[in-house]
Structure 1
Amino acid sequence: MALDGAYLRHICKEVKENAIGSRVEKIYQPNKDEIVLALRSMQGAKKLLLSARADSPRMNFTAFAPENPKVPPMLCMLLRKRLCGARLVDVTQPQMERIAFLHFDATDDLGDHITLQLAVEIMGKYSNVIFIDDKGIIIDALKRVDMTMSSQRLVLPTLKYSMPPNQDKINILDNDAQGVIDTIEKLDKNMMLNKALLSCIQGVSPIVCRELEYLTGKGADVATDEMTPEHYMRLEFFLNRYIATIRDCTGIPYMAVNNSKPMDFTFTDITQYGDVAQLKRCDSFSQLLDDFYLERDSAHRMRAKSQDLHRLLVNTMDRLSRKINTQTAELDQCADREALRIKGDLLQANLYKIEKGAASVTVENFYDHNKPIKIPLNPALSSSRNAQRYYKDYRKAKTAEQVLQVQIEKAKNDLEYINAVADCLTRATTEQELNEIRQELMEEGYLKQPKGKAKKTAPLPPLEFTSPMGYKILVGRNNRQNDKLTLKQANNNDIWFHTKNIPGSHTIIVTNGTQPDEETILYAASLAACHSKAKNSSQVPVDYTQIRNVSKPQGAKPGMVIYVKYKTLYVTPSLPEKQ
C-alpha cells in the first residue's frame, strides 16, 4: 500500500498539468503531520495535500480537506508569511526517489523574487515536509530531526538541506530490463523474484514487484534459482513494458478492492489477486489516494484530536470507580454504628461498676437477654467520658452514613454521565462534534475554560433520518443536544427512544400528531441501538414512550432523564444512510 516512486512520478505530472502557474491563496495545517495548500489559477481552485503521516504519507489534490484548528501552528503561520501569494513554477522528482520538490516563485521582505521549495519526502515513519530557502538552507520542517533522533541526517532550521542516503538501487529511467536482470543474476540464488526486484529497483513498491513475478511465472511463485530462459524472456518483456509506462507517465490509477474495502493501489493493471479482489479504475491518481485513505485518515484525525478527551474520561472513570468502592466500604463500616450506641447505653447504666483507669469492663447486655458483654475503655477517661465517647462515635457514624449515601449516589450519577460522554465521543466524526463535547465538559467542570474569548460557532443540528414510511427521525449527537431535542424541540406526542440502562443518544420520531406504524417504531429503535454503547451487539433492549412521559430531575447532568409508561423492544443495530 506504499506510494512508490513510480506512482509519485504520475502524481508530479498531474500536479504539473493542473497547478503550474497557480498562486498560493491560503495555507492550512490541520494537524502535526499535514499541510494543505489552497492554490488558485485561471482554471479554478485546488487543494494540494502534503502528508507526512507514517501510515499514509503522500502528495495529492484532495476534495476532502480536513478541518483546521482554531489557532494555526507556528509552521503554518511561517508558511503563510513566506508562501502566500507565491506562484508554483515547477514540480520535480529526483530520479525515482519518493521525494517531490515544489518550487515557488516568491518575494522576500524587499520585494525581490526568490525561489522557495517544499520537499515532500514520502518514506514511511521518516516522512517529512521540509521548507527550504533559495540557498538550499532549511527554514523549518513538519518534523525536526536532531542528534537524539538521527546521527546521519539532521533536519533543523539553518542547516543545509541534504537528500536522504542513497540506497544504490537501479534507476530504471536510465536503464532497461537487461540491466535489472544482470543485477538479479548476481544476487543470492535462493531469493524469491519479487524480493530480488524490490531489492535492486529504485522507487517500485511490493505490489509492482509481486505483479512482475506473477506475470513472469504465469501465476506461480518464482525463485531466482528456478529462473529458466523463458522466465527471463517474460521478465524482460513485462519489465520493459513497465519501464516505458513509468518513463512516459502513461500509467492508469487502479485500486484493488475487496468487499468495497480498499486493499492496494498502483499505476497499472494488476492481476495477482485473481478473484480475491476487484479492480477499480479511478479518474485520477489524486482521486485514488483520496478514496483509498479517506476512512483511515478520518479515523486517525479524530483519534489524534480526541486523545486528550479520551484520557480525561478514562482517568475520571477510574477515579470515580475507586471513590465508589472506597466509600461503599466505609458505608459498610457505618452499618455497625448501632453497637456503638448500645455500648454507650450499657456504660451509662453501669457507671458505678467501672473502676478508675480500667481498660475494659464486662456488663450484662439488657438488649440481648442480659448476656455478658466486654466493652473496651480508654483508661485515661472517666467512666462517664467513656460512655460519651461511644455516643459521639455513634453520632459520627450516623452522620457519615448519611453523607456517604449522598456522595456514593452522586459518584454513581457522575460515572453514568461520564460513560454517556464517552459513548458520544466514540461516535463523533467531526471536529465540531468534538468541540461541543469539550464545551460540555468545561461547563460541567471537568475541563478548564481556555483563556480569552472562545470563538462562537452555531450548534450542530441533530442527525436526521427518514423512515421507510416517511417519518422524520432525529438523533442527538451529544448530551447537550439530547436535552435540547427531548426537552425543548420535541412535542408531547412525539415518540422517544433510548437503550435500556445503556449509554446512548436520545432518538425521536416526529409524529406530527399521527401514530407511527410498527416498521417505523422498529426502524427508530434500531437507530437508537446504533447510536449507543451497544452498537456492536445484537438483541439490544430499547425503551420507548411518548415525550410527555419523559422528564429531567432537578440538578441532573446533561442527557440524564427519567421516564414512565414505556415499552421495551429488542433489536439489532442497523445504520441506514443519513438523509
Structure 2
Amino acid sequence: MAIDGIMLANCRHDLNDKLITGRIDKIYQPEKTFLTILIRNNNQNYKLLSVIDPRQSRVHLTDLSFDNPKKPPTFTMVMRKHLTYGVIKKIEQPGFERILKITIENNNKTFYLYLEIMGRYSNVILTDQEHIILDAQKRMGPDKNSARTLMPKVKYEFPPPQDKIDPRELKQENWEKLISEDIEKNLPRAILNNIQGFGPDSTKEIVYRAGIDLEKNYSELNQKEKNKLLDQLFSWIDAIETGGFQPTVGFDKEEKFKIIYQSAFPLTYLKALEGVEYKTFENSGKLFDFFYQEHIIKRDLAREKKRLQDIISNYLDKNSRQQNKVRGKLEQSKHADKYKRRGELLKSQIHKIDKGASEVKLIDYYSEDQPEVKIPLDSDKSPAENVRRLFKKYNKLKKSRSHLVKQLAKLRHEDKYLQNVELELSQAETEEELSEIAEELKEEGYIKKNKQKSKDNNKLPPRKYISADNYQILVGRNNRQNDHLTKKVANQDDIWVHTRKIAGSHVIIKRDTDKPVPESTIYEAALLAAYFSKARESENVPVDYTKVKNVNKPKGAKPGIVYYENHQSVYVTPNEEELKQILKRTAEQSN
C-alpha cells in the first residue's frame, strides 16, 4: 500500500523524536529489500527499518524481529564501514516528497543516507559529504533509468521534481492561481495535481471535512465553500507542522486481512461507509508493525497455504486420473484368457484359415455345445502369424495384470497420503506448520527442492492436551510428526487413537502406570482424533484405539501411513463445548 508524503512526514516526525544524537550500533540486511539499523539513544535501543520492496515500501521504527543472513550483502558491508558508531545529526524531508535525508557524522566525516520510499522506485542510497554515491541498495545504471544513475562514484541527484507546490508555501494569495490550472477537475484531483505530499485519500478527506461533495470542481463552489476548503487545507498543514498526527489503519469488518487504507490521519470520509473499522496508533512505527505483522504476514500465510493446497489438489487430480486409467487396463487384462482360447482354436484348426482373410469362423471345441465362433484376423499376416499375435497379446495382458494390481495399490497409498496432507493444510495456522508441511512435500518429491539449503528450523512440538483424569494426550500436526509421535515418542504400552478409514492426526495417550486408561480419557482422545480429522464436521465418527505395539508402518510407506490390529472402537461427535473444556483445562495446568 503506497505511502504519501504526509504519511512519510509522520514517520520523519517520529524518527526525529527518538533518533537525533543517537549512535548507530549495528546494521543488517535481513532480506534483499530490507535494511535494519540498530541505534542507541538516551539509554534506549531503537531499530530503524527500511523496506524498498514495491509491495510494502516504508521506513519506520519497529519492534519486529528478523533473521539475518550469515553472510551480509555488499551494501550492508559498505554501510557498516562508513556508518557504524556514527551519530545521527539531522533527519529531513525535502519538501513533502517521499524522501528522507539522514545526516550522519562519523570519524570527523559527514555522510548522507537517502531513503526514497516511492513504490517501485524505492531505494536507499549512501553518499559522502560531497554527495558522491558510495553505494545504493538497488543500483541503477543508465540502461535501467534514463532519468538518473544510482551507482558508486556518481553524484547523487534527487528524482525529477514534480510540478507541485510545497504545502508550507501555500498562501491565500497564490491558492486561486494554483487551483485555476485544474479548475474543471474534481476537487480531490485538483489538490492532488498541485500540492506536494497529498495522496488520493488525503485530498478526498480534506474535501469531505470541508463539507463539500467530492465530485464538485472549484468553479462550482460559492465563496463560503472556497473559504472552508482553504481552512481545511491550512488545518492539515498546521497539524503536519506541529506533529499532530493520528496514524490510522482502516480495514474491512468482515475480511480482517483486507486493509482499506493507512494514513497519518483518520479518514472520516471512509469511516462513514458500512463495514469499515479503523484503529489509531500512538506513532507510525506501531501502525506499520500492526499492518505488516497482523495483516501482511497473515495474508502471506493464506497465500502460502493456498499455494500448497493447489499443489496437493493437482496431485490428487492426477492420482485420480491415473487410478481410472489403471482400472481400465485391469478391466482389459481380464480378457487375457479369451485371447489364449482364440489362439488355441486357431492353432488347432489352422488348415481352415484362408491367407489374407480378415476373420474366420471356427468350432469352439472347449465349450460343451461347441458353437461356431467368429475370430477377427489381421489380413496382412499369415495364419501362423495370427496365432502368434493372439498368444503374444495373452502373455502381455497376463504379465501386465500383476504389475497393474501393484500400481493401483501404490496409487491408492499415495491418494491416502495426499488426503492426509490436504487435511493438515486445512488445519495449519502458523508459518511454522506450513513450513514443515512444505519441507515434507519437498522430501517426498512433490515440490522441487531449492538449491539453497533450508533454514534450520526447530521442529514444532505436537499439540498437547490434558484429560479430565490427568493423562497427557499428544496430537500430531503433520505426517512426519505423526510418524515421529507414534514410532519414537510413544511407548509400546501407550494408547494410539485414530479415526477409522478417515484421514486424520495420530493421537497418543501417554501412560505412566499399568492401570487401564479410563474410558473418559479414551473418549476425550477420540474427540480430539475426530476433531483433527476430515470428519471434524461429522456425527458418530468411528474412532479406533489400540496399544502402540499393535501399530506398524509398512516398508516404504509414505509418512503418516500405518496399519494396526487388535483394536477397539468408540463413536464420537466433535463437540465445541467439550473441546473448549479440554483446552481450558490444558491452559490452566500449563500456567
Q: Fold-level match, TM-score > 0.5?
A: yes
The aligned counterpart of 1:109 is none
Aligned-pair distance for 1:557?
0.8
Aligned-pair distance for 1:561?
3.5
Do 2:38 and 2:45's aligned partners in 1 also have CA atoms closer than 8 Å? yes
CA distance in 2, matches of 1:284, 1:230: 35
Deviations 1:297-353 (A, max 9, x none): 214655898999788767755665554454444434323322211112212322444
The aligned counterpart of 2:238 is 244
The aligned counterpart of 1:216 is 210
Aligned-pair distance for 1:554?
0.8
- Identity rate, percent: 29
The aligned counterpart of 1:197 is 191
Q: Which amino acid aligns with 1:340?
A: Y
The aligned counterpart of 1:227 is 221
CA distance in 2, matches of 1:542, 1:48: 53
CA distance in 1, matches of 2:500, 2:519: 21
Do 2:462 and 2:475's aligned partners in 1 also have CA atoms closer than 8 Å? yes
The aligned counterpart of 1:561 is 562
Structure 2: runs of 5 or more not aligned: none
Q: Which amino acid aligns with 2:12?
A: C
Do 1:214 and 1:221's aligned partners in 2 also have CA atoms closer than 8 Å? no
The aligned counterpart of 2:361 is 362
The aligned counterpart of 2:285 is 286
1:524 is aligned, of 528, 536, 540, to 528
Q: Which amino acid aligns with 2:163?
A: D
CA distance in 2, matches of 1:501, 1:317: 16
Do 1:170 and 1:180's aligned partners in 2 also have CA atoms closer than 8 Å? no
CA distance in 2, matches of 1:232, 1:172: 17
CA distance in 2, matches of 1:523, 1:288: 41
Aligned-pair distance for 1:237?
2.2
Q: Which amino acid aligns with 1:210?
A: K
| Number of residue equivalences | 565
CA distance in 2, matches of 1:427, 1:9: 42
Q: Which amino acid aligns with 1:337?
A: A
Q: Which amino acid aligns with 1:284?
A: N
CA distance in 1, matches of 2:317, 2:152: 43
1:266 is aligned, of 263, 266, 269, to 263
Q: TM-score, normalised by structure 2?
A: 0.78
The more displaced of 191-200 and 177-186 is 177-186
The aligned counterpart of 1:122 is 117
CA distance in 2, matches of 1:145, 1:346: 82
Aligned-pair distance for 1:435?
5.1
Q: Quickly say closer, same or farther: Cα 1:412–1:163, change in 2 above 3 A.
A: farther
Do 1:26 and 1:39's aligned partners in 2 also have CA atoms closer than 8 Å? no
The aligned counterpart of 2:168 is 173
Aligned-pair distance for 1:173?
2.2
CA distance in 1, matches of 2:111, 2:36: 17
Q: Which amino acid aligns with 2:543?
A: Y
What is the RMSD of the two structures over their aligned residues, measured on CA atoms?
A: 4.4
Q: Which amino acid aligns with 1:227?
A: L
Q: Which amino acid aligns with 2:211?
A: G
Q: Quickly say closer, same or farther: Cα 1:123–1:394, change in 2 above 3 A.
A: same
Q: Quickly say closer, same or farther: Cα 1:375–1:2, change in 2 above 3 A.
A: closer
Structure 1: runs of 5 or more not aligned: 107-111
Q: Which amino acid aligns with 2:340?
A: R
Do 1:476 and 1:482's aligned partners in 2 also have CA atoms closer than 8 Å? yes
Q: Quickly say closer, same or farther: Cα 1:494–1:85, change in 2 above 3 A.
A: farther
Deviations 1:468-503 (A, max 9, x none): 99986654333211222344435766574559745x
The aligned counterpart of 1:391 is 391
Q: TM-score, normalised by structure 1?
A: 0.80
2:58 pairs with 1:58? yes
Do 1:495 and 1:510's aligned partners in 2 also have CA atoms closer than 8 Å? no
Secondary structure class of the residue paired with 2:192: helix
CA distance in 2, matches of 1:134, 1:547: 76
Q: Quickly say closer, same or farther: Cα 1:206–1:445, change in 2 above 3 A.
A: closer
